[in-house]
Amino acid sequence: MTRKSRRILLAAIAIAVVIGGAWSLGRLGRPSVDDALAVPRLPQIRPDYSGITIPPNIAPLNFSILEEGTRFFVRTAAEAGAPFEIVSRSPKITIPADRWRAMLAANRGKDLRWEIYAEQDGQWRRYRTVVNRIAEQDIDSHLVYRLIPPVHNKWREVAVWQRDLTSYRESVVLEGTSFGTGCVNCHSFASNDPGRMLIGVRSEEFGHSAILVNEGQVQKIGARFGYTAWHPSGRLAVYSINRVWQFFHAAAAEVRDVMDVDAGLAYYLLDAQNVKIVPRAADKTRLENYPAWSPDGQYLYYCSAPILWNSGDPVPPARYAEVKYDLMRIRYDLAADHWGDPEPVLSSEQTGLSILQPRISPDGRFLLFCMCRYGGFPVYQPSSDLYLLDLRTGAYTKLEVNSEFSESWHSWSSNGRWIAFSSKRRGGLFTRCYLSFVDDAGKSHKPWLVPQRDPEHYEALLKTISVPELITGPVPVTGEILTQAVVSDRAVEVDAVSGASGGAGRGEPWQPTRE
């Protein structure tokens, strides 16, 4: 069966499930629950969609009831509009999309309530009401993420996908198998704009390059882009050039580990189609990584750590676990194409932890970042947590969204009220994408899983979801067009900076060309 056939079959099954749920509702009828036995606790549901703040444009939060029962009854209500009810013999609750959208649209800023009942031995039991808050602010309509098999030492079935958060529609942006055994990684967007995208590709047959989507044009750039940050003007993009190595621990909660042996920052000027080194962020004695622009475009933030080994040392070098990154920034004058001197923002000496992956809120007030015990790849560090730095005061706090496992790969919505991030909290192995509301004061609310049509979707998904990026609409070009650019030999001529991509898949020997 082809991949397209499988998708059509899965879609048909999903439609049948929805139709079947509606049929069972009519057949079962509304039960009499007036004499239900009160259970003084919240019901167990999966995913845990209780006590959360949700956007008014999110797809229905289908869930499974993890309570014993032969029948289940759910009543959904809010302040405005008529409530609606679901009766099911299955613990999987499928919410009608039209009723859901209408209720959320009519109740922005108000509570949404689920009354959940389960019938056991002819007796209905009513659990405490699940109360969620509907935010005033929408979330960006689409989420772009990388989907990776559990084994990372092969470039196989690596793809970048997009998901419509207002529904369950999803599609491939670019798939590595579309150009042989290629690898796709390091996707980035300018200010949540789907029409301005850079995506890195690696291929033994077609070379290592970056694909640029800008104002309806698609170009292949002959340079290896790692972690990328678009200037707010859209006229240039800063990216990392990394020498990445993956290795494994014999005994640890997380056996995989990744490190940069060498790293620096470069930038691509779109008009000139030229690559340059960021002169004071490509120090041969330091590792520079994870660029991020301030919304006004005046400062580039990035992470920097000293190199604690010599070029001929074995990998991993003896002092790899001593590496801790500082948060730096450097002023940039776009008109003059001039860089200032690096300035420290927050040091690892102050925090005692390695500071990574800065992302600044659209209003310029908050800087969201990770910190972990050591190194530059928080996804492989169970100690990695998310923090928020108030750029007005310089104070930082650990967010409430964290768990005992790794949190990493975060992004802001275009209105600054929502964050998406990867977390391994469901067992420590696979990353999943979580969403969280962030209020005006910078307080994060309880995170929740991106909803799926099948509430048990994640239990069967043996792939990792990473680098979730929120964008305001779908990517405007097809995977076929992007693939044509990948396999083309008409790359834009630039002063290419050689180097392995910033992904954690393969480590390749590399000596960067730096000033």
**Residues 242/228, Cβ–Cβ less than 8 Å:** no
Residue-wise burial string across 318-346, b where 16 or more C-beta atoms lie within 10 A, e elsewhere: eebeebbbbbbbbebeeeeeebeebeebb
| Distance from C-alpha of 62 to C-alpha of 310, rounded to nearest angstrom | 53
| Distance from C-alpha of 415 to C-alpha of 135, rounded to nearest angstrom | 13
Beta bridge partners of 359: 368
Strands 71-78 and 84-88: antiparallel
pLDDT at residue 36, rounded to an integer: 96
Residue 503 structure tokens: 């992904």
| Distance from C-alpha of 12 to C-alpha of 6, rounded to nearest angstrom | 10
Question: Which residue in the block uniquely carries the two structure tokens 């301030």?
Answer: 294
**Residues 363/295, Cβ–Cβ less than 8 Å:** yes
Residues written for the chain:
515
pLDDT at residue 28, rounded to an integer: 60
- SS3 assignment, position 293: strand
**405 φψ region: left (φ > 0), alpha (ψ -120 to 50), beta (else):** beta
Cβ neighbours for 297, distance < 8 A, ≥ 6 positions apart: 231, 232, 233, 332, 334
> Half-sphere exposure (CA, 13 Å, Cβ side) for 499?
30
How would DSSP label each residue in 117-156?
EEEETTEEEEEPPEEEEE-SSPPPSEEEEEEE-S--SS--
Long-range contacts of 78-81 (CB under 8 A, 24+ apart): 78/103, 78/106, 78/107, 78/110, 78/111, 78/112, 78/113, 78/134, 79/107, 79/110, 79/111, 80/106, 80/107, 80/110, 81/106, 81/107
| Distance from C-alpha of 334 to C-alpha of 194, rounded to nearest angstrom | 23
Of residues 169, 144, 172, 167, the one with CA closest to residue 157: 172
Beta bridge partners of 329: 301, 343
**Residues 327/301, Cβ–Cβ less than 8 Å:** yes
Of residues 283, 318, 325, 320, the one with CA closest to residue 304: 325
From first to last of its 515 residues, what are the pLDDT tens digits of the chain? Answer: 454 454 544 444 444 434 333 333 445 678 999 999 999 999 999 999 999 999 999 999 999 999 999 999 999 999 999 999 999 999 999 999 999 999 999 999 999 999 999 999 999 999 999 999 999 999 999 999 999 987 655 667 899 999 999 999 999 999 999 998 889 988 999 999 999 999 999 998 898 999 999 988 999 998 889 999 999 999 999 999 999 998 988 877 788 899 999 999 999 999 999 999 999 999 999 999 999 999 999 999 999 999 999 988 999 999 999 999 999 999 999 999 999 999 999 999 999 999 999 999 999 999 999 999 999 999 999 999 999 999 999 999 999 999 999 999 999 999 999 999 999 999 898 999 999 999 999 999 999 999 999 999 999 999 999 999 999 999 999 999 999 999 998 765 443 333 222 332 222 322 223 33
φ, ψ at 350 (rounded to 5°): -70, -45
| Distance from C-alpha of 216 to C-alpha of 481, rounded to nearest angstrom | 11
pLDDT at residue 492, rounded to an integer: 57
**Residues 219/476, Cβ–Cβ less than 8 Å:** no
Question: What amino acid is encoded at 136 in this protein?
Answer: E
pLDDT at residue 112, rounded to an integer: 98
φ, ψ at 149 (rounded to 5°): -65, 165
Q: Domains in the chain, start-ordered, CATH in brackets? A: 24-134 (2.60.40), 142-283+371-487 (2.120.10)
How would DSSP label each residue in 470-496?
EESS--SS-HHHHHHHHH-S-PBP---
Residue 205 structure tokens: 């047959």
pLDDT at residue 152, rounded to an integer: 56
Residue 290 exposed, middle or buried by CB count within 10 Å (0-12, 13-18, 19+): buried
pLDDT at residue 29, rounded to an integer: 79
Kind and range of the H or E element at 328?
Answer: strand 326-333
Of residues 256, 320, 324, 336, the one with CA closest to residue 289: 324
Of residues 476, 471, 477, the one with CA closest to residue 193: 471
Cα 344 to Cα 228, 238, 303, 325, 330, distances in angstroms: 21, 19, 10, 11, 9
Residue 87 structure tokens: 């009766």
CA angle 279, 285, 290 (to 5 degrees): 60
